Amino acid sequence: MTDCIKTSVLLEAKNIQLSYDDKIILRNINFCIKDIVRPGMQQGQVVSLIGRSGIGKTQLFKILSGLQKPSAGSITINDNKTVQAGDMGVIFQNYYLFEWRTVYQSLSLAVKQNALLKGKEKEMIEKYAADFQLNGELQKYPQQLSGGQRQRVSIIQQLLKGSDFLLLDEPFSGLDICVLDKVTDLLLQVSVSDEKKTLIIVSHDINTSVAISDTVLILGEEPGKAGATIKKEIDLIARDLAWKKDIKKERAFIETVEEIKNCL
DSSP 197-213: -EEEEE-S-HHHHHHT-
User: Is 157 in contact with 106 (CB distance < 8 Å)?
Assistant: yes
Which stretches within 139-232 are classed as H helix?
147-161, 177-191, 206-211
CA angle (112 as vertex; 81, 144 as ends), nearest 5: 110
Q: Does the structure show a pLDDT above 90 at 82?
A: yes
Q: Is 34 exposed, middle or buried (0-12, 13-18, 19+ CB in 10 A)?
A: middle
* CB neighbour list of residue 59: distance below 8 Å, 6 or more residues apart: 18, 25, 26, 68
Q: Lowest mean pLDDT: which of 10-14, 68-72, 188-192, 227-231?
A: 188-192
The per-residue pLDDT for 93 is: 67
Mean pLDDT confidence for 168-185: 80
C-alpha to C-alpha distance for 71 and 19, rounded to whole angstroms? 6
Strand order, beta sheet including 5-20: 81-82, 72-77, 5-20, 23-37, 228-235, 215-221, 45-50, 198-202, 165-169, 89-91
96/154: higher pLDDT: 154
What digits encode the pLDDT tens for the residues 20-57?
Answer: 998 999 999 999 999 999 988 889 999 999 999 899 99
Binning pLDDT at 50, 70 and 90, where does residue 65 land?
Answer: very high
C-alpha to C-alpha distance for 146 and 213, rounded to whole angstroms? 28
The per-residue pLDDT for 2 is: 73
The per-residue pLDDT for 144 is: 94
Decide: pTM greater than 0.95: no
Binning pLDDT at 50, 70 and 90, where does residue 146 land?
Answer: confident
Mean pLDDT confidence for 219-238: 96
Q: Which of 197, 183, 108 is nearest to 151 (CA)?
A: 183
The per-residue pLDDT for 25 is: 97
User: Is 210 in contact with 46 (CB distance < 8 Å)?
Assistant: no
C-alpha to C-alpha distance for 16 and 12, rounded to whole angstroms? 10
Task: Tell me the percentage of the chain whose pLDDT exceeds 90.
Answer: 62
What digits encode the pLDDT tens for the residues 88-128?
Answer: 988 876 666 788 999 999 999 999 989 889 999 999 999 98
CA angle (163 as vertex; 237, 147 as ends), nearest 5: 90
The C-alpha torsion from 14 through 15 and 19 to 25, rounded to 10°, is 90
Q: Which residue ranges form the domains of the chain, and what is each CATH number? A: 1-88+203-256 (3.40.50.300)
Own/partner contacts of 250-253, CB < 8 Å, gap of 24 or more, are 253/210, 253/211
Q: Lowest mean pLDDT: which of 117-121, 166-170, 187-191, 226-230?
A: 187-191
What digits encode the pLDDT tens for the residues 208-217?
Answer: 999 999 999 9
Q: Does the structure show a pLDDT above 70 at 236?
A: yes
